[in-house]
Chain A
Amino acid sequence: MIRVQGLSKRFGRLTALDGVDLEFPAGAVTALVGPNGSGKTTLIKALLGLARPDAGEITVGDHRLNGDHRYRGRIGYMAQVAPFPENLTAAELFRMITELRESTAGPDGELLEAFGLDRELAKPLRALSGGTRQKVSAVLAFSFHPRILILDEPTAGLDPVASGALKRRIRREREAGATILITSHLLGEVEELADRVAFLLEGRVRFQGPAAELLQATGQERLERAVAALMMGEAPR
């Protein structure tokens, strides 16, 4: 589980996060939604230790972030874009990450197979299509038994078969008790996967709670309309 308390981050005059309090419980998928520039990326980077908050604290599992990097061994992260070193092969990339994590497990065999990546392992990464690289990125995130998954637009660029396999895997990790955070602009997908929704607007949390509660609060039937209503500035009742 992840707990964020009073998190603030400014970039010069721009306030990216303004006193954010959020909780991502274990065994649940929480969707982080909000318009572009609402602070989602900054929040994810703060969780990963990539951006240093100005104020507030973050607790991942039982570790309060303090600059020690070891907690990231429990996190599987899938970035929105997957640009890898051009001249390495996928197999070398997997080996590199495995070694950096000092793990004895290799890449996740089940996803490798579901994505049909076995044939692509020996090719240099620059020769792989965008979707295939996204698959490589997904395999990396789910390898090494992460208890926490941070997935930034995980299905963008994936074909329906791969996307389905990834969603099945996400549900299974949830049943196994993982803490899962996803962002997505596809609200249909959010509706399908997410137990909880956290809505960010201009660096503040405007709503967090079960998806059903958001529908009720905005008086909408579909999540898409409910989020649109929030974006238009209608305060949840």
Chain B
Amino acid sequence: MNALLRIAGYEIRDVVRGKWLVAYGAFFLLLTETLFRFGGEGGRVLLSLVNLVLLLVPLMGILFGTVYLYGAREFNELLLAQPVGRRQMFGGLYLGLALPLVGALVLGVGIPFGARGGLGGANAGVLATLLGTGTALTLVFVALAFVLAIRVQDRMRGLGAALLLWLALGVVYDGVVLLGVTAFAAYPLERPLLVLVLLNPVDLARVLLLMRMDVAALMGYTGATFEAFFGTALGTALAAGALGLWVVGPLLLGFRLFGRKDF
């Protein structure tokens, strides 16, 4: 446990001083601040933020994660040559990478809201949901980055796979679902659709956010079906639980792969 926290601590220091993390945090800060200045009201700012968070957080998690891990490969071997177990090493690496990303998102979005006293107002619940799902997506995609970087030996192929996975889950998935829905419009599709939502962490995050924001029109086909079927309370619990499984699953897989890997 001690070694885990030490590894995480030094890695956080390294990551936080890097230009990518600073740029990531600054981007959310500037974006939120700009949205406030132009759009004004907090609810609308949040709505504008949703799609960017859903797109950008997974991208940064998986891409920054794989780039960092491939870059640190030799150093991590040196650390593993010290009297450190692989479990502590994996836990330390994971926290050291995920926590700074979460911090940049929470601070970048949170500071402009805090400055306007938005942390306690009517939008507080939605803001908390946005930051919560953003945190969960960071944890999911950093875990996926670990799985790829451990599994794929070749750096370029690993980065390619990371980009493809992000594209598939964040962009292509919904399009394919919509295509399927139109193609099979004559059949009852609610149940298969619900399963499809549960299989994609980005969709789960979107559903969670939009159920909270009361904008069913923007929820897309999958989201609307989801709310209609479960109602808000059960739907939220189910989606949050499934998102939790999406964090745990890849993390356990990465943990197992890391324990068996030949470096």
Interface residues of A (CB under 8 A from B): 9, 11, 45, 48-52, 69-73, 75, 77, 79, 81-88, 92, 96-97, 99-101, 124, 137, 140
Query: Quick check: B262 and A101 within 8 Å, CB to CB?
Result: no
Q: How far is the CB of A53 from chain B (nearest CB, A)?
A: 9
Contact with A along B71-89 (1 / 0, CB 8 A): 1101101111111111000
Query: Quick check: B77 and A84 within 8 Å, CB to CB?
Result: no
Q: How far is the CA of A11 from the CA of B263 in the complex (A)?
A: 11
Asked if B17 is at the interface of the complex by the 8 Å CB criterion, the answer is yes
Residues of B within 8 A of A81 (CB): 74
Q: How far is the CB of A129 from chain B (nearest CB, A)?
A: 17
Q: How far is the CA of A140 from the CA of B75 in the complex (A)?
A: 13
Query: Quick check: A88 and B263 within 8 Å, CB to CB?
Result: no
Of B13, B78, B85, B260, the residue contacting A88 (CB under 8 A) is B13
Q: How far is the CA of A85 from the CA of B96 in the complex (A)?
A: 13
Q: How far is the CA of A45 from the CA of B78 in the complex (A)?
A: 11
Query: Quick check: B14 and A77 within 8 Å, CB to CB?
Result: no
Query: Quick check: B17 and A87 within 8 Å, CB to CB?
Result: yes
Residues of A within 8 A of B10 (CB): 85, 88, 92, 96
Q: How far is the CA of A70 from the CA of B83 in the complex (A)?
A: 5
Known A50-B263, A69-B83, A100-B79; further 14 A-B contacts with Cβ < 8 A: A45-B77, A48-B80, A51-B262, A72-B84, A73-B83, A79-B81, A83-B74, A83-B75, A85-B14, A85-B75, A87-B15, A96-B6, A99-B6, A100-B84
Of B13, B260, B262, the residue contacting A11 (CB under 8 A) is B262
Please list 17 pairs of residues, one from A and one from B, whose beta carbons are closer than 8 Å in the complex, sorted by A's number: A45-B77, A49-B81, A50-B77, A72-B83, A79-B74, A81-B74, A83-B75, A85-B14, A85-B72, A86-B14, A86-B18, A92-B13, A97-B82, A100-B3, A100-B7, A100-B82, A124-B17
Asked if B190 is at the interface of the complex by the 8 Å CB criterion, the answer is no
Closest chain A residue to B79, Cβ basis: A100
Closest chain A residue to B7, Cβ basis: A100
Q: How far is the CA of A83 from the CA of B86 in the complex (A)?
A: 20
Query: Quick check: B263 and A45 within 8 Å, CB to CB?
Result: yes
Of B79, B83, B262, the residue contacting A71 (CB under 8 A) is B83
Q: How far is the CA of A96 from the CA of B72 in the complex (A)?
A: 15
A79-B77, A86-B18 known; A100 vs B262 contact (CB < 8 Å): no
The tally of residues in B whose CB lies under 8 Å from a CB in A reads: 27
The interface residues of chain B, by DSSP majority, are classed as helix
Query: Quick check: A69 and B6 within 8 Å, CB to CB?
Result: no
Query: Quick check: B82 and A79 within 8 Å, CB to CB?
Result: no
Q: How far is the CA of A100 from the CA of B83 in the complex (A)?
A: 7
Q: How far is the CB of A149 from chain B (nearest CB, A)?
A: 12
Q: How far is the CA of A70 from the CA of B75 in the complex (A)?
A: 19
Closest chain A residue to B82, Cβ basis: A100
Residues of B within 8 A of A85 (CB): 10-11, 14, 72, 75
Of B79, B81, B263, the residue contacting A75 (CB under 8 A) is B81
Q: How far is the CB of A142 from chain B (nearest CB, A)?
A: 14
A45-B262, A101-B83 known; A87 vs B6 contact (CB < 8 Å): no
Query: Quick check: B82 and A101 within 8 Å, CB to CB?
Result: yes
Q: How far is the CA of A134 from the CA of B7 in the complex (A)?
A: 22
Q: How far is the CB of A81 from chain B (nearest CB, A)?
A: 6
Residues of A within 8 A of B6 (CB): 96, 99-100
Q: How far is the CB of A127 from chain B (nearest CB, A)?
A: 12
Closest chain A residue to B13, Cβ basis: A88
Query: Quick check: B262 and A52 within 8 Å, CB to CB?
Result: yes
A69-B83, A71-B83, A92-B13 known; A50 vs B72 contact (CB < 8 Å): no
Q: How far is the CA of A82 from the CA of B14 in the complex (A)?
A: 16
Which B residues, 2 to 31, have Cβ-Cβ distances below 8 Å to chain A? 3, 6-7, 10-11, 13-15, 17-18
Of B13, B75, B81, the residue contacting A87 (CB under 8 A) is B13
Q: How far is the CA of A96 from the CA of B94 in the complex (A)?
A: 17
Q: How far is the CA of A86 from the CA of B80 in the complex (A)?
A: 18
Contact with A along B84-114 (1 / 0, CB 8 A): 1110000000000000000000000000000
Query: Quick check: A50 and B262 within 8 Å, CB to CB?
Result: yes
Q: How far is the CB of B75 from chain A (nearest CB, A)?
A: 6
Closest chain A residue to B6, Cβ basis: A99
Query: Quick check: A51 and B83 within 8 Å, CB to CB?
Result: no
Residues of B within 8 A of A69 (CB): 83-86
Q: How far is the CA of A120 from the CA of B189 in the complex (A)?
A: 65
Q: How far is the CA of A27 from the CA of B72 in the complex (A)?
A: 34
Query: Quick check: A77 and B262 within 8 Å, CB to CB?
Result: no
Contact with A along B158-181 (1 / 0, CB 8 A): 000000000000000000000000
